[in-house]
Chains A and B, each alone.
Chain A
Amino acid sequence: MGDAEIIPIGTRGRPGRGAGTQPSSAARSLAPGARRKPRAAEPEPVEPKAAAAETPDDAAPEAAAPEPAAPLLGAVGSPVAGPAAPEPAERPAVRTHDRGPYAHIPAAELLAALQGAARELFGEEWEIQLARFLAFLRRRLTGEYAVDEYGFDAEMTQQLFMTALRPIAQRWFRIDVRGVENIPTTGGALVVSNHSGTVPIDGLMTMVSIHDHTGRFLRPLGADLVFRMPVVSALARKGGATLACAEDAERMLSGGELVGVWPEGFKGIGKPYSQRYKLQRFGRGGFVSAALRTGVPIVPLSVVGAEEIYPLVGNIPSLARLLGVPYIPITPTFPLLGPLGLVPLPSKWLMEFGEPIRTDEYDAGAADDPMLVFNVTDQVRETIQQTLYSLLMQRESVFR
């Protein structure tokens, strides 16, 4: 600490204050002929190595040592014209010549730089990796990939959608996934989840979480509005979604797919923030009849955290009617901050898959028994609601 008094900060020589007689030392060092660090040029290249070899404590006095000599030299040379005499002897004349941005860079060096960059990007075996990437790109460009009958593009989903969504799931929402063992590893199953968050981001997060934990693709069932909206409709089909109707649900389930359904629909995602974590009506129980008909298990999923990403505090019903959408959300940030308001709040998410509810033990005509369908629907709904409460108790706060 004592050293601080010895080393003058930013001054070399007399601490001129710009009193009028002489320019300040700071001004002198800025002047064109000023000799800053006259001898520092010699020790400097050596010094870092020496400092690296020694302990940092020793390095500090070392660096301070040449300092007292500097003011003497600085004082000899008069501020403006003085240094001109000793200087030319020490330093050769500086020649500058114009150079185009890429002129005189040898092609070999450019190639080496490119190879270095490729190595950085793709690792040591960059040639193979780059060739693979090119093959992927060419496959996309020539259309030589396969889609299934619902328009699901597995390659695109895996390479693009999942890669883009993964950091959001892991870093932004820090999703804590529990009960993955309840998802069957093979065969059809129906994942039933609560729905919240103004924009159905919870569906995307469920898709990426299930894929990362089990390796299976979740095939979401979407409302017809999804397939009416441009861009969204094309992406939804490529990502594996299909229309939420009995025919498609049963077709997918009997085809052995893992199907995701959000029976609350727009009632769930479009509910005001004050009603968060209160499950809405579960549709007409169509998902239960589909599961009963195909005999697949129902896996209840409770998602905590999605309610807080866009707290819905208002709605513009007249504009919504005009545009033909269920609601136009107003959140504390959305129309106010413009596009910035579209960034979801980084709430902490918990996802818990409950124990599968078996449906293969009922009789053949069970799907046509409305009372049984309502009972199973209520059972699923109650399970999700109770799990939501217990997850909320476990969560420290909204953002942690």
Chain B
Amino acid sequence: MGRVVLVTGVSRDLGRSVARSLAGAPGIGRVIGVDVVPPRGDVGDVSFVRADIRTPVIAKIIAKEDVDTVVHMSVIATPGPGSNRNAMKELNVIGTMQLLAACQRAESVRHLVVKSTTTVYGASNRDPAMFTEDMEPRRAPRTGYAKDVAEIEGYVRGFGRRRPDVRVTMLRCANVIGPHVDSPITSYFRLPVVPTVLGYDARLQFLHEDDLHGVLQHAVQHDVAGTFNVAGGGVLMLSQALRRLQRPSVSLPGPAVGRLGSVLKSARLADFSPEQLAFLTYGRGVDTTRMRTVLGYEPRFDTAAAFADFARLLPVTGGRTERALARVAEALPDPSTPSLAEARHG
């Protein structure tokens, strides 16, 4: 008899793939996926239950299925198609409140794993280079996703105080990237010409989608409580990332990027929320020492490798200069060979 895991938010790609990977993991008996709408793809061994976590129905499911582990994935960064900000906020905040209320009542629940995000740290010019888990955002978020997540984390901490017997693990994940991820940041990088903020170069950290599955599975299987930053090692600058993508970019002053973003948003090409604009201006870095030492998880992809894996399937739209230079370089000798003078010296 393995563990019974309840995964919320399985209608979205990340939630679905996490539920699937958990279903195949050793030591886990059953995985129940919950969401308002059915998942878009194959869920494999996951038993899907159509339920709204914003209603008390969720408590009945937890009690009936004798769930011992709850993985909360239903924190969304963007309102889905045909939805708006109010619905997103309701799903994020009210949904979490109902879910936690249900967990508090259910005696069977012993583990709670919440997928949070590094967006809670915000992004500003007054940020330290690397946020550790006990640092607060320099400017408290007032709107949008970041505020939702900050409130959700507050409720989760409250739950931890009321049910000290439940192990609570909160994973603050960096931007998830990968060939199959559809998120604000990946749609940004998929633009044929990428707008950037003039005069700023953001530091970015990425988490590969496989590592997101890996770390959630690790957190379910290992009894380690606490809050952890999760990100691939190393840092990429935004300009450097765009060069690696070989995508042309156009630098615009900050307010113009914001206006362009709202145009792109209404055209459903990309999403430029204010917090994403701040992120692309100032960037953010998180310290992952605790992830490695306390949680004991080592991502397979570092930031650069995760980005390279994402870039693999993207068509190249720029890089003409580089190709011209490459042709010139072919005619020249290999630069790694030592020159005559150096050979004479050595």
Binding site for B on A (CB under 8 A): 124-125, 127-132, 134-135, 137-138, 140-151, 153, 224-225, 227-234, 237-238, 242-243, 245, 247-248, 251
B319 / chain A contacts, CB cutoff of 8 Å: 141-142
Task: Say yes or no: B335 contacts A147, CB within 8 Å.
Answer: no
B132 / chain A contacts, CB cutoff of 8 Å: 247
Query: Which of these, A141, A148, A233, contacts B243 with CB under 8 Å?
Result: A141
CB contact under 8 A between A230 and B198, given known A125-B341, A138-B325, A143-B240:
yes
Task: Say yes or no: A233 contacts B200, CB within 8 Å.
Answer: yes
CB of A113, distance to nearest CB on chain B (Å): 18
Task: Say yes or no: B339 contacts A142, CB within 8 Å.
Answer: no
Task: Say yes or no: A251 contacts B341, CB within 8 Å.
Answer: no
CB of B242, distance to nearest CB on chain A (Å): 7
Query: Which of these, A127, A147, A151, contacts B332 with CB under 8 Å?
Result: A127
Task: Say yes or no: B235 contacts A148, CB within 8 Å.
Answer: yes
B235 / chain A contacts, CB cutoff of 8 Å: 147-149, 151
Task: Say yes or no: A230 contacts B199, CB within 8 Å.
Answer: yes
A125 to B283 alpha-carbon distance, docked (Å): 43
CB of B104, distance to nearest CB on chain A (Å): 35
B238-264 Cβ-contact flags toward A at 8 Å (1 or 0)? 011111101000000110000000000
A259 to B175 alpha-carbon distance, docked (Å): 30
CB of B180, distance to nearest CB on chain A (Å): 23
CB contact under 8 A between A151 and B201, given known A137-B325, A242-B129:
yes
Task: Say yes or no: B240 contacts A147, CB within 8 Å.
Answer: yes
Task: Say yes or no: B130 contacts A234, CB within 8 Å.
Answer: no
B282 / chain A contacts, CB cutoff of 8 Å: 227
Say yes or no for B267: interface residue by CB 8 A criterion.
no
Query: Which of these, B197, B199, B326, B333, contacts A138 with CB under 8 Å?
Result: B326
Since A131-B334, A151-B129, A237-B237 are in contact, a sample of 11 more A-B pairs with Cβ atoms closer than 8 Å, ordered by chain A residue number, is A128-B333, A132-B335, A134-B329, A143-B241, A147-B240, A151-B237, A224-B125, A225-B125, A230-B198, A230-B199, A233-B125
Query: Which of these, B128, B241, B244, B326, contacts A245 with CB under 8 Å?
Result: B128
5 contacts between A and B (CB under 8 A): A128-B333, A129-B339, A147-B237, A149-B130, A238-B201
Say yes or no for B236: interface residue by CB 8 A criterion.
yes
Say yes or no for B122: interface residue by CB 8 A criterion.
no
CB contact under 8 A between A135 and B244, given known A234-B200, A243-B128:
no
Task: Say yes or no: A134 contacts B339, CB within 8 Å.
Answer: no
Instruction: Across the interface, name the chain B residue whose C-beta is closest to A132.
Output: B335
Q: Tell me if A's interface is mostly helix, strand, loop or mixed.
A: helix
Task: Say yes or no: A138 contacts B329, CB within 8 Å.
Answer: yes
Instruction: Across the interface, name the chain A residue whose C-beta is closest to B126.
Output: A224
Instruction: Across the interface, name the chain A residue whose C-beta is closest to B329.
Output: A134
A242 / chain B contacts, CB cutoff of 8 Å: 128-129
A238 / chain B contacts, CB cutoff of 8 Å: 201, 237
A148 to B128 alpha-carbon distance, docked (Å): 14
A153 / chain B contacts, CB cutoff of 8 Å: 237
Say yes or no for B143: interface residue by CB 8 A criterion.
no
Say yes or no for B203: interface residue by CB 8 A criterion.
yes
Task: Say yes or no: A151 contacts B200, CB within 8 Å.
Answer: no
Task: Say yes or no: A143 contacts B242, CB within 8 Å.
Answer: yes
Instruction: Across the interface, name the chain B residue whose C-beta is closest to A145.
Output: B240
Task: Say yes or no: B199 contacts A130, CB within 8 Å.
Answer: no
A134 / chain B contacts, CB cutoff of 8 Å: 325, 328-329, 332, 335
A393 to B337 alpha-carbon distance, docked (Å): 53
B316-344 Cβ-contact flags toward A at 8 Å (1 or 0)? 00010110011011001111010111000
A129 to B329 alpha-carbon distance, docked (Å): 11
A229 to B281 alpha-carbon distance, docked (Å): 11
A344 to B37 alpha-carbon distance, docked (Å): 67
CB of B212, distance to nearest CB on chain A (Å): 21
Say yes or no for B66: interface residue by CB 8 A criterion.
no
B332 / chain A contacts, CB cutoff of 8 Å: 127-128, 130-131, 134
A242 to B241 alpha-carbon distance, docked (Å): 21
A311 to B6 alpha-carbon distance, docked (Å): 69
Say yes or no for B1: interface residue by CB 8 A criterion.
no
